[in-house]
Amino acid sequence: METKIIDGRVLSDQLRKSIKQKVCELRQNNIIPGLTVILVGDDPASQIYVRNKKRACEQVGINSNVIRLDNNITEYELLGKIHDLNEDTSVHGILVQLPLPSHLSSEKIINTIDPSKDVDGFHPVNAGKLLAGQPYLAPCTPRGIIKLIESTGEDISGKHAVVIGRSNIVGKPVSIMLLQKNATVTICHSKTIELDKIARQGDILVVAMGRPQSITDKYIKTGAIVIDVGTSRVNGKLLGDVVFEDAKGKAGWITPVPGGVGPMTITMLLENTILAAQSSSVL
């Protein structure tokens, strides 16, 4: 069968036009959306991610600022930086680029961010609101995944969605979002027995394992929507968790790597920043 490509770049560009218009409307009301990213250390991948986020902000008119900190900064010093940003009314969104050096507690750092400025959607308050069906600032990658699925024109309601991966960043929140869209959701992980058999039941298959080229056509139901969240660099090449060439001809729809989920994650970060700025104007 013919497999259609879900182009995250095209969808992202369309959404950013709407975001840019919202930024213009906020600026007309003297609200200038502001995002501050904290980058600790000199991890090459993190440097690239932060540069892409800053460029995206500039494209839509969001004020962006990157605070670059030494790898050996103390936890006390970093928490102090976050406290200052929490109090700064010109900053609507705060993002701490992960991963952090091993001597810093990611959990403690994230929990210190004001939930109303937590544009990554990782704070326990925002996670709890998502679980309770009252989402405010939801995690960016899961939000992007839902929009990618919806862009196919297929109705999520009633579909069997299989999610491979149970991380707090992708697997768990996207499972909740799919459930709230009335899908029947199965969550699989490293201890799942007969993973291929369960995966083949999915009308929607979301793969977020972090294991490059692990999912072949034997895991895919004919005609399924396949969302590949994996991004691993192998021998200088960016690869997904799904063997793309195997999936073509079996899946009905599939996201490529790169160019699928990645662009949408940054676009959802922009949307969360706008939402935070809008909310700050009515507090």
Contact 221/204 with Cβ under 8 angstroms?
no
* Three-state secondary structure of 248-276: CCCCCEECCCCCCHHHHHHHHHHHHHHHH
Q: How far is CA 118 from CA 34, 267, 273, 275, in A?
A: 12, 15, 9, 11
What gap in Å lies between CA 10 and CA 7, rounded to an integer?
Answer: 6
The gap between the terminal CA atoms of the chain, to the nearest Å, is 52
Tokens for 117?
């400025």
What gap in Å lies between CA 23 and CA 173, rounded to an integer?
Answer: 27
Candidates 97, 118, 181, 250; catalytic one: 97
What gap in Å lies between CA 149 and CA 145, rounded to an integer?
Answer: 6
Candidates 118, 120, 203, 228; catalytic one: 120
DSSP letter assigned to residue 97: P
Q: Is 53 considered catalytic here?
A: yes
Q: Is 17 considered catalytic here?
A: no
- Phi/psi region, residue 15 (left: phi>0; alpha: psi -120 to 50; beta: rest), is alpha
Residue type at 250 in one-letter notation: K
Tokens for 147?
């929009």
What gap in Å lies between CA 139 and CA 116, rounded to an integer?
Answer: 13
Burial class (CB in 10 A: 0-12, 13-18, 19+), 214: middle
Q: Is 21 considered catalytic here?
A: no
Contact 118/137 with Cβ under 8 angstroms?
yes
DSSP letter assigned to residue 162: E
- List residues with catalytic annotation: 53, 97, 120
